[in-house]
Chain A
Amino acid sequence: MASNTSYHDNELLMRPRAVPLQRIWSFLSRQIVAYLFLLPAILIFGLVAWYPIARAFEMSFQQVSLTGESTDVGTANYDLMELDPAREIILENMLEFASWSVALGYALPVILAILIREMRHAKSFFRIVYFLPTVVPISIAVIVWRFIYDPDAGALNELLSFLGLPDQLWLYDPKLAKPSLVVVMTWASFGTTTLIYLSSLMEIPTELYEAAELDGASPLQRIRHVTLPHLFPIMSLLFVLQVISVVQVFTEPFLLTNGGPGRETLTPVLHIYRRAFERIDLGYASAWSVVLVVILLAFSLVYYLVNYRIRKIYSD
């Protein structure tokens, strides 16, 4: 230790300013190297994420052509939304789609995961088979689904007549169009959530079940008091994610129903797409985007706060 200090002292005596300068230089060069590593990501994020996000906000106060020429129009785009005949319908559709999706696809993966966890054979078969649709591009699966739903020769109506039930119009029926689309959306996504729940279930120590069994808890009570509490945090996170992703749905209604019949399956993103690229009103489309993000953020925030309150009450 002593020799070490004396070494430094010597160097300080010989070159009094060299050490601080060297330190500053090595500090600076380390910063420069660090930022060189960051640079590609910063540039690309800036160009295709941060800038367009800021631009979305800016464009919502402008009139914009397809080539990007823009003139300020104040809040005209937002004022126009008030008059948009599709507005009410889209907001309603948004709620109905979210409700259908939660009804058909929220509990299903939880139940499946619990049942598959209990399998003593073929666990990996079930794990992969429900997951298969999630890797297939929707725009290709849609080709098959529209034939399944076909009122004349589709498999669903053939099944109904086989069972002696009347044919349905499915995607052309104002009442059935939404649930029909949600079935496709659920088919394409529930495998992912099932796997997530399943991997969470694998973390539960078996001793907990053994202890519960020794205490005389019935199988259902064990699910109620051991399994479900373990899943709750993930369930509540996946609830938000599911609602957010359903509200943003585009490809299924665009390719299967094109928003119809009437405006039954007109979703916000489909509306944004049409306004931007069919009516070439990019500013108005951006105003819709901004409103949609605000709605989604507000939903997440309210959900988070309510969840936090409930958990606090439970833990008190």
Chain B
Amino acid sequence: MNRGFLSNSELKSFQGRVYYGVVVTMLLVLALAVIFPFLYAFTSGLKGSTEIFTSGLNIVPENPQWENYKTAWVEFRLAKLFKNSMVIVTGSVVLQMTISCLAAYSLSNLKPIGGRIVMIGFLLTLMVPAIAYFVPLFVTLGNLPVLETSLLDSYWGLWLPYAVSAFTIFVLKNFFERIPGEIIDSAKIDGASSLQTFIYIVLPLSRSIIVILSILSFTGIWREYLLPLLIISNPEEQPITVRLIYLADNYGVNIQMAAAFTAMVPPLLVAIILQRFMRDGLTIGFSK
């Protein structure tokens, strides 16, 4: 039975029932507090421009103004902002997964001389927090060494930095190492090249972990603010995280709330629908 520190019979006792009721109430109150900002944004977005400033804890609007949401959608050009974010994040995740899978396959199966040193090089980037080099990263992207071009105001200026994830390489490498050697060997005996083994054997066997890592990276990069703020200055191309807050002050609070709530819905839906994957992804780093 799925007991915890309390046994089922203890929970059924009088004290157990009281304890259970108190805990459920506490958890529910906290849950309400945690989702309050979402509820508040939703209902404030439905209020009129004067109603929102009337005093009192009137969470529910008297006369819901649904057109606020339409105004926010049009004025903030939310469709375009979602699209920009989508392009930035999808490109980053695809690039990250591609280079990470290739590198992890090499390190786990082809085992080149010096591979350990390369892996240590990858892992070193986990020791240095990203903020320690966002200034030189900006300078580097503004004037690439050797290539002599600038990636400022180009999505490559975000795709490249977000492609770098030592964590993804590390997890994939460990996963690839657990693929039974016999499967790989039999492919080799059948005459498959390294690339064919990688594409037809290793990748299909690792679908689940690749999906989990992609979702994790996707939601992580979607939330990014500082680097897109620095790299993309063209308002037509900025992601939603940068543009929305920049525009917000030009509008009334009720329109701001409607826009903010709309912007929060897709990530929330993703979290609810893909919760199992996200949970698995978060605990990968900690399972031993």
Contact = CB atoms under 8 A, between A and B. Distances in A.
A296 interface: yes
A95 interface: no
B137 A52 contact: yes
Given A34-B111, A41-B169, A140-B241, 7 more contacts: A34-B106, A41-B103, A55-B133, A64-B139, A117-B4, A237-B286, A250-B226
Given A68-B142, A234-B286, A290-B132, A158 B242 contact: no
B210 to A, nearest CB: 15
Contacts of A196: 282-283, 286
Contacts, number: 296
Contact of A128 (B57, B135, B263, B275): B275
B140 A115 contact: no
A289 B135 contact: yes
A313 B208 CA distance: 42
Interface string A41-71: 1101101111111011001000010111000
Contacts of A227: 5
Contacts of A83: none
A115 B113 contact: no
B260 A199 contact: no
Interface in B220-262: 222-226, 230, 240-242, 244-245, 248, 253, 256-257, 259-261
A138 B224 CA distance: 8
A185 interface: no
B217 interface: no
Contacts of B241: 137, 139-140
Contacts of A200: 286
A78 interface: no
Interface centre among B24, B52, B110, B136 (most CB of A within 10 A): B136
Interface in A153-168: 153, 155, 158-159, 161-162
5 contacts: A33-B194, A47-B140, A115-B23, A140-B264, A250-B226
A206 B129 contact: no
A296 B112 contact: no
Interface stretch (A12-20, A85-93, A119-127, A258-266): A119-127
Nearest to B32: A129
B253 A40 contact: no
A255 B23 CA distance: 36
B242 A48 contact: no
Given A44-B99, A199-B287, A209-B5, A219 B10 contact: yes
B interface, how many residues as a size bin?
Answer: 35 or more
Interface residues of A, number: 104
A118 interface: yes
Contacts of B88: none
A25 interface: no
B145 to A, nearest CB: 7
Interface stretch (A96-104, A143-151, A172-180): A143-151
A81 interface: no
Nearest to A226: B5
A9 interface: no
Nearest to A27: B113
Contacts of A226: 5
